[in-house]
A and B are shown apart, each in its own frame.
Chain A
């Protein structure tokens, strides 16, 4: 729709179309306001220039009528824009349950992408068209910002937590993937591509990656290697909460609060268990902060997700 405009980037996702319409509306509105100011200024400047004989009588003395009028007009217009923008924002940043998940780790200066089936890529992300894709993101060092211009979608990736965004691509093609938060020396080169493929193409691509283990299977090994299964395993005698079916439920904590067991919560529990003791359990879990890399952590989280049957484990 906007492709004839030289400064309009590609649009290839539902989020992109939503933002396009809003941006075009604001652009038109800005043009009208700018033009009003310019025309008024030029008109007054020529009509009331020093040498002109235009009448200066009956200058407006009471100004507050005018001021109230344009305060009200501006405020009304702003409120409409605010609501419009906020609606899309809430829709963009509240990730629904996805058809697929993709895990992204940002580090100086690359994007590491991992698919649930265990397929790994660097500075590239292959995704199928017309599916709701959830992207779970972590940073290994500084703050990065994950940006796909064609989707009009961006979110910072802050170390110490997970950020989850989603999109639904609707046009096959290759699009830019960027980091838009300055992250050190080679920030400018922390770029890659997003490849949007048709369903069959994507399925074919997944099988050609030569992968033998899904993320959840790798996560299960790590789960044993770090000793998690000793307490959280099915045969354990230690009094620890079972992780079967916990993902996506609400968990009651010792301090009385209730948390949704999403990816970020699982991560927090592993790294800083004392702050997230589940109600009715003793605070005996050691903390794993600094002992597990971000990509291993994502695998363990993928394994715990798989225990709820919410996670397909494709190869």
Chain B
């Protein structure tokens, strides 16, 4: 094999076209764009905004919990954790990776010019922002006070806050999810470049595919559920009210039928991101590509059969408790396989520790700890003890924040040069990655202990003997706040002052790295022809081959 020894960084841009950022400059050219890359950036702006709103609510909560008696009024605290949950789940975590990096990179990675339905993509952004306005309305008017889970009959009859507005926001938000996921499914089926077979798809694309299938199937159930909630609250129809022959648990069944898969909606794209970063920075192929795709798809299917594990103590029959526990252990198997495969993907690599890799390694550790606590929660008798306590809070934050947000920041750093054409300051980024890891563990590990001691969730006050753990957690949260804000500052700086990014700064094999940084509006000057599997890195000889089949020396 002849090896091209030209340094990739020195290669000129393959096209003379202006980039997607500079091709048009009017405000209208952004607001009415159908370019998936611009829409991705617009989504990025929206979800970043909501991330910080949700983060402010979290800050107030941790501030309140620094002392046993609390600083906030009970009503304020209750509204804060409700809005924190609603905003973080539906306005940050669920859309986070798919609408930004998925939107930007799925077409680039499969060699397409755009998503299948560019107008639907733009519509999805507008619908998302409409739902965002509604949730902001609910927040500004005083917020809802039901918890993000809207349990009935509390939410239908007893709660006083702006529950209908919050539920409406969730309802509208679902349509954005559906539009975006439909777009991905069709795009991945129909618009792959010649030679891009299913088993040559980068794992990030597989992750987005798996998540889109789940979103498309599960979201309508939530849509119906919130509609029933609105009808019950608005008209007094007793769907969930036992006094009128309704069943309070019906809400929970429907809610978790969506919201458990939703947990996988948050984690599957993150798994995809990590599967891109690890081989690239370990300079070797991913360990068990086929196994990884099978694991992704089996998680997305099994995720539909575990919802009642949120209801082990809710009064479902003990037999269904037993069945759902078994199914929950089954869905944990592919996750465990993935952890082992990622870790072993470091074996005989040639590893560098740039910021994306630090985030990815952090992801693996936090995901493993979150997963192991999930194993405990799947065990029926242990769930009876720790259900509804801070143990559960710690568990899902390890998965949804520790793992998913780490992957989000990993993806942001990994693809930043491609998206903006600028390099970020590496030392600052590594510092932020390590700070995230430290701050995160300090915030959430004490919550496992608090939970096992019996501290109930959603309480504005607690006995004095638990203060030590709570203070540790609040202290960690302040570190985490810094770690999450830092990238905003240095990435913002890099937009203007950062070094110009070469085409392929990480020497990666995906198609997104063969076009210029940032890419032109049409993505590629010519349709790429794919001849290789992804991740053809060779640590033994220090070479790699792109998916187009061009070999390079390191």
Do A and B interact with each other, yes or no? yes
A183 sits at the interface (CB 8 A)? yes
B387 at interface by CB-CB < 8 Å:
yes
Picked from A44, A56, A74, the residue with its CB within 8 Å of the CB of B337 is A74
> Do B351 and A26 touch across chains, with their CB atoms under 8 A apart?
no
Please pick, from A85, A92, A142, A152, the residue contacting B325 in the complex, using a CB distance under 8 A.
A85
A30:B351 contact, CB within 8 angstroms: no
Q: Which of B375-390 contact A (CB under 8 A)?
A: 375-376, 378-385, 387-389
> Who on chain B is nearest to A48 by CB?
B349
B387→A180 contact, CB < 8 A: yes
User: Are A176 and B333 in contact (CB-based, < 8 A)?
Assistant: no
Taking a contact as CB atoms under 8 Å apart, the answer to whether B287 and A63 are in contact is yes
Among B314, B332, B454, B460, point to the contact of A9 (Cβ < 8 A). Answer: B454
Which of A89, A178, A183, A188 sits near B74, CB closer than 8 Å?
A188
Segment at the A interface, from B189-197, B339-347, B491-499, B545-553: B339-347
Kindly state whether residue B125 has any CB partner on chain A within 8 Å.
Answer: no
Whole-angstrom distance between the alpha carbons of A208 and B107 in the complex?
A: 77
B149 to chain A: closest residue by CB: A182
- B461 in contact with A37 (CB, 8 Å): no
Q: Is B410 an interface residue (CB 8 A)?
A: no
A18 within 8 Å of B (CB atoms) = yes
Interchain CA distance A8-B448 in the complex, whole Å:
11
Q: Is A141 an interface residue (CB 8 A)?
A: yes
B74 touches A33 (CB 8 A): no
Instruction: Identify which of A75-83, A121-129, A217-225 touches chain B.
Output: A75-83
Which A residues are CB-close (under 8 A) to B454? 9, 147, 149, 176, 178
Assess whether A84 is interfacial by the CB under 8 Å rule: yes
Question: Which of the residues A9, A18, A48, A155 comes within 8 Å of B351, measured between beta carbons?
Answer: A48
A63 vs B351: C-alpha distance in the bound complex, in angstroms? Answer: 20
B274 to chain A minimum Cβ distance, whole angstroms, is: 13
A163 and B315 in contact (CB under 8 A), knowing A34-B369, A141-B153? yes
Which single member of B74, B332, B368, B384 contacts A185 (CB below 8 Å)? Answer: B74
Q: What residues of chain A lie closer than 8 Å to B75, measured between beta carbons?
A: 185
List of A residues within 8 angstroms of B459 by Cβ: 187-188
Interfacial residues of chain A within 93-126, with CB under 8 A of chain B in the complex:
93-94, 108
A45 to B389, CA, bound (A): 36
Between-chain CB contacts (< 8 Å), 27 pairs: A22-B381, A37-B364, A38-B365, A45-B361, A48-B348, A49-B353, A50-B351, A54-B348, A66-B288, A66-B340, A71-B337, A81-B329, A85-B380, A86-B326, A88-B381, A92-B381, A142-B151, A142-B153, A142-B157, A149-B385, A154-B313, A158-B249, A180-B388, A184-B78, A184-B145, A185-B74, A187-B459
User: Which A positions have Cβ atoms within 8 angstroms of B?
Assistant: 7-9, 18-19, 22-23, 26, 30, 33-34, 37-38, 40-41, 44-45, 48-50, 54-57, 59-60, 63-64, 66-67, 70-71, 74-75, 78-79, 81-82, 84-90, 92-94, 108, 141-143, 145, 147, 149, 152-156, 158-161, 163, 176, 178-189, 272, 289-290
